[in-house]
Structure 1
Amino acid sequence: MRAFRQVGEKQLPNPILYMAWSPKRDLIALANTNGELLLHRLSNFYRVWSLQPNENTGKEITALAWRPDGKILAFSLGDTIQVVLCDAEKAEILHVFPVRLPVSCMHWMEVQEENSGLASFYDSEDESNRFLPKLPSLPKSYSTTTKIFSEEKSDEATNLLGDVRLNILVLGGPCGFVELYAYGLYKIATANRIAGYCRSLCLSSDLKSLSVITEVRSTDDDPEIHYVQLDTGLLSSCLPELTRMARKFTHISTLLEYLRLSLTCMCEAWEDILLQMDLRLTKFVQEKNTSTQVQDEFLELLLWGHASPELQALLMNQLTVKGLKMLGQSIESSYSGIQKLVISHLQSGSEALLYHLSEVKGMALWKQKYQPLGLDPAVIEDAITAVGSFTLKANELLQVIDKSMKNFKAFFRWLYVAMLRMSDDHVPPELNKMTHKDLAFVADFLAEHFSANEELFDRKGKYFNVERVGQYLKDEEEDLVSPPNTEGNQWVKFLKESTHLKESPLLFPTYPQKSLHFVKRMMEGTIELCLQKPAEVIGKSVKEALRLPLYTVPESSENTPRLFEMPALWNNNKASMHYVVFCMPEISPSKIYLLRRATDPCRSVPNGLIAIDLSRPLNSSIDDEDAAAEIPGNGTYRCLDARLYDAETLTVVLQGQEEERVLAQLPLSAALRSEEEFAWDTTLRLDQQNGSIPSQGLVWENQWRPLDNMKAQFVAVNGIRKVSCVLSSNLRHVRVFEMDVEDEDEEEEDRQEESQNITPDQEALEESLTSQKDAGANMEAQEGGEADQAAEGGSGDTLEHTSSSDTL
């Protein structure tokens, strides 16, 4: 009998490079050579969605990993060196962050703590929602690069944290590059002490160790495959503190992204049309022949109502009445939009940032708990100060916007009336009234904004800076062209004269010469130092506890996709062990090796290395000789790919002597109970000690299935959902199976075979038994009917007898 039921098969247009099953649902993610990310459902291998490559995400996917709850899919991009977090429901990019080196492997794990006392800590861990208002969602009208804070996903910043329980995304790459990201967002550790190219990695669910498969190259010899176990005991011993710190810093990271996107929306709200007045005035100065100043000509128009022919040509031919009206509407709408974004987004985001940083500072002052994790109160205080300076600069922008709107409104109203008079048009009565106060206001505006500045022409290619808001939104290192005028400000005067307050740490410093973008970048740099310090301290605590050289890799295997090559790592949560499955095809092509290491580097595991020999005659529990002859293993097989289905079952793709391919489930329980021990000489590679490794045969029973008409090569499994996906060697042909379920076609064949093997005598005997059974059923029905009638007829006698006996 053969197990497994095939539920889907498909020929794909592009070769598949990576595939990963969802841990919670019957979904599998595929990445192809075209850079597409595909999500397929188990039933008939139905495609749910596809994420097309574009200029924002890149086109070369190098690794895949699911968040343990199955809601978010992470993938890395080799051409842009980024990691992308994608919503598994709608194929929307939620977050993108750069990494230092290209990622070759990733693993997303969830902490499984054994201390039940942590439950109360988790329940009261984050109370920010009780004190902070909900962040306003970013408006749809702006083309923000991610949808993390859109109106449909206004809560996604919190949802990205997942469940309260800590989960960590681990990334690996060349040059021993290994980084750990809490909740997939905040980097909590950078390990730089690993030699070689990371091929596979796995962080234990108790955070005690990190297992890595590395490829170490030398100039002369073939590359060597090493197993490295890193001691991450600091993460395990400080789990409550690590969880609280990670959640706080993840909030801070998302708030920085929120402020960045809000500032992007503000830059998009500012329009280039606002520079039209500056450009017109500059061109007017360059073309006019008189030496009269521009502000003098406008003042003459204001006081006497007369304009020079050149000024009249500027106003009536170039600016025009319609253009002036349009410019006024654009300025009002643009400034209003920027003002709303500053008040609702920048200020609320800055307040939330100050709240979380202040809590982190309080945590850092508890040195006994948080100093081992690298929290430095001085660095956090600098970050709080930088956020305060950013808040002050945002308030300064609000004042500039408010003043500019008042100035432009009065100026355009006067200029609009003057241009109507030039064209002899009717002037509405409500616009024709100007008081002396209005005249003085416009005169001050002309004197301040309409004086030609030679330095400004050298720097910006123009003489005028009538529009003062845009300079705050430019991402440039240079100082503001027209910084705010603080003359007459009593508070500024008081600070300059007070020697004590000038140096007081209680006051946030201001940068009157700098733009909002500049102060924002300075704030981000200071907070980045605050966020990097724990990652550096924790990274230094990660030390190499064990290194085992396994075998050499021939250069000819370079063409094989790396993801599907063994060795493969797997974490057993219940037994607190790392499992490593690998083959040494150059030494023993018919053997599969299973290495087990305790997640605690100080603890040893009995029978830590076994070899499963596929060429030895295997025992079978089937008595039928014909059925036993069909069982794989009675010939020579070699393993093409293997994945751990669960702690005691191995899913393998095998190749026989005649290129036949078999999908099988190998039970490991008997082999794991073996009492033979292997004395490992760590000075030699494992392939040099192959002869002394304990070797075991296995009972296959019925857990296998031939893969007809398919040159199978790779397999991906999910033991929780009991599913597997087999991929052909050309990377285009896939088959999906439900494991531990018999194939419906084979059940139908068995029933047909049973019906065909019945003899005529047996048929006659069955017909006789059937007729006897029917006759017996009829007799029982008749007897039952007579019994019912008798019961009905005798009911009165029974009642009468009962009553007489009661009387007696």
Structure 2
Amino acid sequence: MAFSMPMKQIGVKNIGFRVDLMEWSNKMDLIAIANEKGEIIIQRLNWQKVVIFPPPVESVKVKALAWQPGEAVIAAGYSNGKVSLLDIEKEDEIYTFTCESDIKTLNWTKTNILPKVDKKDIDYSTPNDDDYLSPLPNLNSLTSTSRKSEFCSTKSFAKGPPNFLIISLTSGQILISVFGLLPCGTINISDHIIDSQNYEVHDVQMSSNFNEVFVFLTNNGVLELLIFENNILSKYAQPLFNLAIKHGNIVDTMNYINETIQCIIEAWETVLLEMDNKLTKYANSQPEGSISADFLELLMFGYPSEALEQFLVRDLTEKGLKKLGNSIELSYSTIQKLVIKPLHNAATNLIYHLNSIKGLSRNSYSYSALLDIKCAEKATCSAGSFLIKIFELQQTISQSVTDYKTFWCWLYMAIIRLMDENVPDEVSSTSQQDITYLAEFLNSFDDCIFEKEDGGVGKRKFNLERVGQYLEDCDLQTPIKQHDWNNLLSENECLRDSALIFPHHKNQSLIQECNSVKKNITELFQRPNNQIGENFQLKSRIICSALSADPVHTAFISNEVTPSDMLVATTSANDLIYIEIISKNELKSSRLNFMKGPFTQPQFKDLSDMVVRDLKFYNESTMSLLLRGLSEGRSVNYFIQFGMPEWQATCSHHHITKELDLRQSAVMTNCFEFVDVGCFSKPIDGNTCVQIAVSGSRKVASILSDNCRKIRLYEMEVEDEDDEMEPGLNLFTSREMV
């Protein structure tokens, strides 16, 4: 029975810049194109532009692209080691991290066999969190600045099937992460190669059951396939996915917290920093201890010192003070709104997520290899301290609002009197309570001396504004005063040391507490990477062939029906090797050659030896190849597809051992024995073709040619209509082996 794949050219597009990579989505009719500028352009099949993602920095190149299975998310690896997860629907970067060296390859994998869960064994560790969590408001509606919120949720990662992102680096490291978020294993290839200076990794894939990792590499001129085995990864797969979802929620919440804090800092810097700098400049020009005295003298007797009068009348001025007062009031209002709801809600949600992880850590049967109880408790405790610091900041803001209103009103009245003008009736009265309050407030201006941890003394920077000190990565200059709760803890050791009470770090700023949370969260999620990474063992080293071609092209797909894992690689310019892992201890293999021999059928006599330019799996049963050769004395390109069952029929079976040599044992088959001459009857027009991208689920293909600046688009599996078929690409067939 003949295998047929009718296809029709539906467009030819010239690209302004050289194309480095292209990849079709398996979910939508979208193609991702990476150009020489480092941009990633998402186009529809009709060539409508969807979105352009610029490079993270100038002069970096895109080294790898991979669509997340079943999702509108694409992973991009850059030449500076950065990996970005890009959401096409949101048109935004939703997660990013940086690796130690340049990216070599990116691949997603997924499982097609999900564990059956009995109703009595339902995992209650992943409830619907939205039922318990406070909603996080849109920051753009709460801030008066023109800054656009960059926060983007990662919740889309939990919707699709379980999958891993596998990253290989030019240094030889292989990084594995769940959903591209949670690191869960590292393999260092140099530890498994004798000559660690003379090898190159070409591709890394993972089996559909998560038991094995396949690495194609060149070692001293020989193509090898290394198979790594890990029993923890598959054993703890379901708990690992649960933990990855929790990790995604925490990353999501921390991104929101970072964005909220950034909005608070910008709102504070708008006006308050200007006022603080003016007063600090004045304070630095005065003798130590004179600031409070000068202001108290003005309050009590109505006469300022010469320096203070010059500062008030010339530097501050009546109009400047009034304008500044209004701006400060607006800034405080913005900061209050950002702290009271967004930051508080996010911190509460963070404690919820970390507390649930602390609960998971107590389930030693499912999570002993993934979580450490002490790290979980430490992270939860630091999040609690962060929440306490938010409450403290709220109190400081409320106190500062009262301080400023009273202080500015009195100072405005003082400036008016110094200028011998009439004081407006609405600000002319000052009660005895206000005077007492002002006296205490002004007396704190020179509260600059403090005791260090080592017993010495230091001098604080003069700071009228108390909120700004919480937004710096250093100890507070003016900590909040002790209250009854602190006194109770200091007097009761049993309460002070209780794990149920979050500690209050009196001298730490909000930024310091936030950094502590980040550090502890990083330590919490380091255990899966360490434990699983240490469990990877080299199961088999398969020697495929001596190499005579560069570069090496590879393809991989998991067969859902068999199930099995299928790998193909070029061993020379016109040779391929096929390896199918059919069980834990068995594989089958075959080689395919594109050179004519003495028994080649006469209808191929006009063809010269074919050179493989690129190869891809169209689906589990179809292989796509881009070939170049000579026909009637001229260079031509061919895009052919043939059925995998015909090639698989030539395979020999092998037992997987610690070291397996396929150079002599794998059966060699000539492609002209089962590929129909019709595949080569109509070459592709144009100059040399260099790359293909195919998608069997979307029934599309594309060919890159003409110095990487032209893309030809094809619709696959179309109805065989002669009037609509693209001339020269009407039908490719291959005959079954006899």
TM-score by length of 1: 0.80
Structure 2 contact 590–648 (Cα < 8 Å) conserved: no
Larger deviation: 138-147 or 188-197? Answer: 138-147
1:792 alignment partner in structure 2: none
Is the contact between residue 2 and residue 703 of structure 1 (CA under 8 Å) also seen in structure 2? no
Query: Aligned residue for 1:201?
Result: 204
Q: 1:47 aligns with which of 23, 29, 49?
A: 49
1:741-775 C-alpha deviation (Å, 9 max, x unpaired): 3686766899xxxxxxxxxxxxxxxxxxxxxxxxx
Structure number with the bigger relative contact order (C-alpha 8 A, sep ≥ 6) is 2
Mapped to 2, the partners of 1:53 and 1:7 lie a distance apart of: 30
Matched to 1:491, the amino acid is W
Q: Are 2:585 and 1:576 equivalent residues in the alignment? A: no
CA distance in 2, matches of 1:328, 1:381: 45
Alignment partner of 1:392 out of 388, 413, 436 = 388
Q: 1:296-695 alignment to 2 at 5 Å? A: 296-371=293-368, 373-450=369-446, 464-475=462-473, 478-486=474-482, 489-553=483-547, 557=550, 565-585=552-572, 589-598=573-582, 600=583, 602-605=584-587, 607-613=588-594, 615=596, 629=603, 635-657=608-630, 658-674=634-650, 676-677=652-653, 686-687=662-663, 689=664, 693=668
SS of 1:347's partner is helix
Once the two structures are TM-superposed, the CA of residue 410 in structure 1 deviates from its matched residue by 0.6
Q: Give the counterpart of 1:726 among 691, 696, 703.
A: 703
Look up the match of 1:791.
none
C-alpha deviations, 1:473-510, integer Å up to 9, x for none? 013xx422222222xx2222222222322322222222
C-alpha deviation, 1:525, in angstroms: 0.8
Q: CA deviation at 1:530?
A: 0.7
Measured in 1, the distance between the counterparts of 2:67 and 2:130 equals: 28
State the alpha-carbon separation in 2 of the partners of residues 453 and 299 from structure 1: 19
SS, match of residue 410 in structure 1: helix
Post-superposition offset of 1:272:
5.4
Give the match's secondary structure for 1:299: helix
Shift of 1:553: 4.8
Separation in 1, partners of 2:289, 2:667: 101
Superposed CA offset, 1:539-590 (max 9, x none): 2222222221334556x84xx6xxxx412222223323222222222xxx44
Say if 2:93 is the partner of 1:93.
yes
- Find out whether 1:176 has 2:160 as its counterpart: no
Q: From the superposition, tell whether residues 368 and 70 of structure 1 become closer, same or farther in structure 2 (CA, over 3 Å).
A: closer
Partner Cα distance (1:739, 1:122) in 2: 43
Structure 1 stretch 665-674 or stretch 34-43: which is displaced more? 665-674
* Residues 124 and 683 of structure 1, relative CA distance in 2, 3 Å threshold: closer
Would you say how many aligned residue pairs link Structure 1 and Structure 2? 706
Q: Please state whether the residue corresponding to 1:440 is helix, strand or coil.
A: helix
Question: Which sections of structure 1, spanning at least 5 residues, go unmatched?
Answer: 150-155, 217-221, 621-627, 751-808
Return the letter of the residue paired with 1:608.
Answer: S
Q: CA RMSD in A?
A: 3.3
The 3 A distance-change label for structure 1 pair 663 and 422 is same
Counterpart-to-counterpart distance in 1, 2:713 and 2:68 = 22
Seen in structure 2, the aligned counterparts of structure 1 residues 673 and 75 have a Cα distance that, compared at 3 Å, is same
Q: Distance in 2 between matches of 1:7 and 1:719?
A: 17
C-alpha change, 1:619 and 1:551, in structure 2 (3 Å) is closer
DSSP 3-state at the match of 1:86:
strand
Equivalent residue number for residue 137 of structure 1:
138
Specify the code of the residue in structure 1 equivalent to 2:102. P
Tell whether the 8 Å contact from 2:390 to 2:510 is kept in structure 1 after alignment: yes
Separation in structure 2 between the aligned mates of residue 364 and residue 595 of structure 1, nearest angstrom: 40
Relative to 1, partners in 2 of residues 1:283 and 1:681: Cα closer, same or farther, differing over 3 Å? closer
Distance 1:676 1:744 in 2: 40
8 Å Cα contact 1:615/1:633 also seen in 2: no
SS at match of 1:706: coil
Amino acid at match of 2:491: E
Distance 1:618 1:334 in 2: 86
SS of 2:91's equivalent in the other structure is coil
Cα offset, 1:533, TM superposition: 0.7
Counterpart residue number, 1:790: none
Other structure's SS at 2:444 match: helix
Corresponding letter in the other structure for 1:665: Q
Q: In the TM superposition, what is the alpha-carbon distance from 1:701 to its structure 2 partner?
A: 6.5
Q: Secondary structure at the match of 1:226?
A: strand
Deviation track 1:80-110 (CA, whole Å, cap 9, x = no partner) reads x221121213532222222333321111233
Contact 1:210 1:231 in 2 (8 A): yes
Alignment pair present for 1:33 and 2:36: yes
Query: What's the offset of the Cα at 1:21?
Result: 0.6
Residue identity matched to 1:174: T
Secondary structure of the residue that 2:640 maps to in structure 1?
Answer: strand
Identify the structure with the greater strand proportion: 2
Q: Which of 497-506 and 117-126 deviates more?
A: 117-126
Rounded to whole Å, the distance in 2 between the matches of 1:451 and 1:679 is 80
Query: Which residue identity does 2:18 align to in structure 1?
Result: P
1:454–1:463 contact (8 Å) kept in structure 2? no
Instruction: Please tell me whether Structure 1 or Structure 2 has the larger radius of gyration of its CA atoms.
Output: 1
**Aligned equivalents of 2:659 and 2:208: distance in 1?**
30
Where in structure 2 are there 5+ consecutive unaligned residues? 194-198, 728-738
The percent of aligned pairs where both chains have the same amino acid is 28
Q: 1:604 to 1:282 in 2, by over 3 A?
A: closer
| 1:532, distance to aligned residue in structure 2 (A) | 0.8
Structure 1 distance, partners of 2:123, 2:605, is 51
Query: Retained in 2: the 8 A contact 1:58–1:77?
Result: no
Q: Distance in 2 between matches of 1:331 and 1:419?
A: 18
Task: Provide the C-alpha distance between the structure 1 equivalents of 2:238 and 2:707, rounded to a whole number of angstroms.
Answer: 48
Q: 1:676 to 1:299 in 2, by over 3 A?
A: closer
In 1: Cα distance, 2:565 partner to 2:20 partner: 25
Partner of 1:11: 14
The structure-2 alpha-carbon separation of the partners of 1:641 and 1:545, relative to structure 1 and needing over 3 Å to count, comes to same
TM superposition shift of 1:66:
0.6
Distance 1:124 1:249, change over 3 A: closer
1:129–1:275 distance in 2 versus 1, CA, 3 Å: closer
Quote the Cα distance in structure 1 between the aligned partners of 2:502 and 2:688: 68
Q: Confirm whether residue 126 of structure 1 aligns to residue 99 of structure 2.
A: no
Q: Counting helix residues as a fraction of each chain, which structure ranks higher?
A: 1
- Bigger shift: 8-17 or 133-142? 133-142
In the aligned structure 1, how far is the partner of 2:459 from the partner of 2:605? Answer: 81
